[in-house]
Structure 1
Amino acid sequence: MTAVGNWKSCLGDRPSNDLWNALSEEAQVIACLRVEADLLTAERIEELCSRDLDWSVVLHLASQNDVSRLLYQNLSEIYPEAVPVWVLEQLQQSFQAGLLRSCYLAQELLQILDLLSQRGISALAYKGPALAMALYGGLAVRPFCDLDILIHPNDWLRTKAVLMAAGYDTLAVDDRLEMRNVWSDNERDFVHRDRGVVLDLHWKLMPEFFPTDLTVEDLWSRRQSVTVLGAIVESLGTEDRLLALCVHGAKECWSKLKWLMDVSQLLRQSPGVDWQAVIAQAKQAHLYRILLLGVGLAHTLLDAPIPADLVSQIQTDATLKSLMHQSCCYMFGVNVSPYRRWSPTRFRLNTRECWQDWVTYGIRRMLVPNVRDRQLVTLPSSWAWLYVLIRPFRLAGEKLGWVTRPQLGRDPKTAHLQEVSERRRDSPQELSSCCNEQAMQSKRPKIRADLSIYSLGTERIIYCPQQEMGVALNPSSTAILESCDGQCTLAEIAAQVAHRFDKPIETVVEDVYAAVLELQRLGVLEET
């Protein structure tokens, strides 16, 4: 089946030629969504790349759906000669910067879990690095911008205290109101501004207006271990992860291919999924249509393997067909005629299976207060029932622009990758004048202690959290950096580099000096 065939099975008969012309770039992105591309995928990519593609649209769609790193991996390995050089260069920069950020966040996750463990708090790594390692086997292709940790509701106040002591900030309310938030909310955002890290702390998988019966106790009893940067981390079991991914995707209207790829990867990596248990759990929690939507999209768009009886049910459910149309609208920003894009509320309501779920959604969405309602107005315990009345007015005020929604700044800055090579920042004449004997004998540069260093092929990538910036070093710059221990002078560093590359020392002196100046300018080195 071709990529276009897959689209046709999802969208039905083509309502217009313009639609399919608009979907050719989307098909390009979909065809690349394979961690291990098989022969069929390679043929799809070659066929699509041979078309007259608008590569700026492809890049935009890849970025919008958080699949740029996977797109780069597939294009660079399968058919790079058909891709414009500037496209591969841009994707490579995105890949390196994303990998750098992922490694940094993974280290932060391990530090947080260690802090919680020291205080006797059990936690599950919900998404982020744990999900990337469990489904993709590494941090390279599955992007994440924050960390997600699941704790028991009874540990909420203690966990909050630990995180705030570690430098994290969150929307502040007193402990009395916090216990009410545990009932009405499902998560809280924490931000470490100095480190540029956002942490989502969960005590339930979904908010009250989108409830599930997946309790923390049940999730913990079925947990599985995954290795992250050499450390063992507890995470969700396979069946729980599948249902959680489908619920999360439905809540977000399946607006990113990244989330659908997670479902596809799980189904490919776990052929022994206990479908009987998953289906029983989904039906009990009124999540069966949500499950069918998630696995149906993964099967239709990404060829994920699912049982034949589920395929039959998906094909005969008119509501599911409409939801799949709408998911494509959200993912690719096009209206699939004759369907107009639904609002998120209408989408979520149509994923539920009975009118009672609709009523529950409406009541809890409009009337169950959360931390933002309680932060807007502080009421004594005897008047706490008034938050039920305050919430609809706050929501209406935000919709009309009368009330500003409290924010913590959920935009952790992405590491900016800068190539540090042996090219000189100044002209050779200027370097010769400043590269004098006194400087060569007195300067003792030292690499900063707060840097994180990762290997990527023959390059080293350094992440500096204070500047929130990444630096990629080629082999010669790496050799220079490794000699910057605070003990060696520039002259000694030049001698070591010359010996390592079997070059006359006089040919590397200016290069070493230029590289050290550049690394100091970027904040990688400090003088002792």
Structure 2
Amino acid sequence: LLQYHGDRIMKGMAAEGIPARIVKGPVFARKLYRNASDRPFTDIDILVEPANLARANQVIAASGFELGSNEAESYQLQEFKWLEKENSSLLVELHGDLVHDTGMRRRLSLGFRELGIIDGEAMDTPAALLTIAIVHAAGGHKFHRLQLCVDVLQGVRALRSPESEARLLDAARMTGIELELAIVLNVTGRLFGEPHALELAGRIKPDLSIRLAKKLITTNTLLRVNSREKIGSRLRRDAFRWIQRLAKARPYAA
């Protein structure tokens, strides 16, 4: 049902001349996993340019959905939550940027334009998918599910050429996620014994924010999210979020 409604909405976007792309769940399942059923998802995420949010919202409303989030707050967060009128368990999220925390967005941003640059002439390239997975784990969420790191693991495994690796590192510099790249790849590599992830993480020169964050985001931090020690895990992940907000942007040469 989610894929059906996602396809309907995307056809509506195309009819209105609104450039859009579906990201995360179904794309990860199709592109990164050997069996798509190994990667369940609970909503459809659609990304457009911020300037197209109003028109895209009209398309989703005309497709039988009603807004389930505050409109003013949604514009601030660049995230609109739409529920199907006849079945409120069907959720479609419209994004103008995959980074919703306004305090972090001064440093890092991942939107439709950036993904287009990362992809180049192709679509849903390994570098773009891994960039999305890293932002999803550490920018959109705070490592609250191991599935977030499994997506990153699968994304690392999809990087099969030096060109893809170089494109990933260029993407990290362009979008401002070098801190997140280093931390997410480091903890994912340690969780799953993936040397490729650790090697990629090591290519980011560690500054003070990266060194502090590595002490906070450990394998135990992630494994204790739903354990008796979940409060300690939550405090560490909250502290990491503050590091993200306070970290300085690194210079980027286009």
Q: Tell me the TM-score normalised to structure 1 length.
A: 0.40
Q: Deviations over 1:376-421 (max 9, x none)?
A: xxxxxxxxxxxxxxxxxxxxxxxxxxxxxxxxxxxxxxxxxxxxxx
Identity %, equivalent residues: 19
Task: Say whether residues 1:249 and 2:98 are aligned partners.
Answer: no
CA contact (8 A) 1:287 1:352 kept: no
- Structure 1 residues 115 and 319: CA distance shift in structure 2, 3 A: closer
1:142 deviation in Å?
Answer: 0.4
1:347 deviation in Å?
Answer: 2.8
Instruction: Give 3-state SS (helix, strand or coil) of 2:65's partner.
Output: coil
Corresponding residue for residue 348 of structure 1: 241
1:188 deviation in Å?
Answer: 0.4
Residue identity matched to 2:215: K
Corresponding residue for residue 222 of structure 2: 327
CA distance in 2, matches of 1:224, 1:199: 27
The structure with the largest alpha-carbon Rg is 1
1:277 deviation in Å?
Answer: 3.8
Corresponding residue for residue 252 of structure 2: none
CA contact (8 A) 1:286 1:352 kept: no
CA distance in 2, matches of 1:259, 1:148: 15
Corresponding residue for residue 209 of structure 1: 103
Pick the aligned partner of 2:190 from 287, 292, 300: 300
CA contact (8 A) 1:124 1:236 kept: no
CA distance in 1, matches of 2:216, 2:233: 10
CA contact (8 A) 2:103 2:245 kept: no
Pick the aligned partner of 1:265 from 154, 160, 164: 154
1:216 deviation in Å?
Answer: 2.0
Corresponding residue for residue 279 of structure 1: 169
Task: Say whether residues 1:192 and 2:92 are aligned partners.
Answer: no
1:120 deviation in Å?
Answer: 1.3
Residue identity matched to 1:117: A
CA contact (8 A) 2:32 2:155 kept: yes
Instruction: Give 3-state SS (helix, strand or coil) of 1:199's partner.
Output: strand
Q: Deviations over 1:344-372 (max 9, x none)?
A: 53231234673x57xxxxxxxxxxxxxxx
1:108 deviation in Å?
Answer: 2.1
CA contact (8 A) 1:125 1:235 kept: no
- Structure 1 residues 353 and 299: CA distance shift in structure 2, 3 A: farther
Instruction: Give 3-state SS (helix, strand or coil) of 2:26's partner.
Output: helix
Ranges in structure 1 where 5+ consecutive residues have no aligned partner: 1-103, 226-233, 358-528
1:98-247 → structure 2 map (5 Å cutoff): 104-171=1-68, 182=75, 184-195=76-87, 196-207=89-100, 208-211=102-105, 212-223=108-119, 236-247=124-135
CA distance in 1, matches of 2:151, 2:123: 15
- Structure 1 residues 224 and 139: CA distance shift in structure 2, 3 A: farther
1:322 deviation in Å?
Answer: 2.4
- Structure 1 residues 164 and 269: CA distance shift in structure 2, 3 A: same
Instruction: Please tell me the root mean square deviation across aligned C-alpha atoms, in Å.
Output: 3.2
1:420-435 → structure 2 map (5 Å cutoff): none
Instruction: Give 3-state SS (helix, strand or coil) of 2:224's partner.
Output: helix
CA contact (8 A) 2:118 2:167 kept: no
* Alignment: residue pair count: 237
Ranges in structure 2 where 5+ consecutive residues have no aligned partner: 250-254
- Structure 1 residues 138 and 112: CA distance shift in structure 2, 3 A: farther
CA distance in 2, matches of 1:301, 1:343: 17
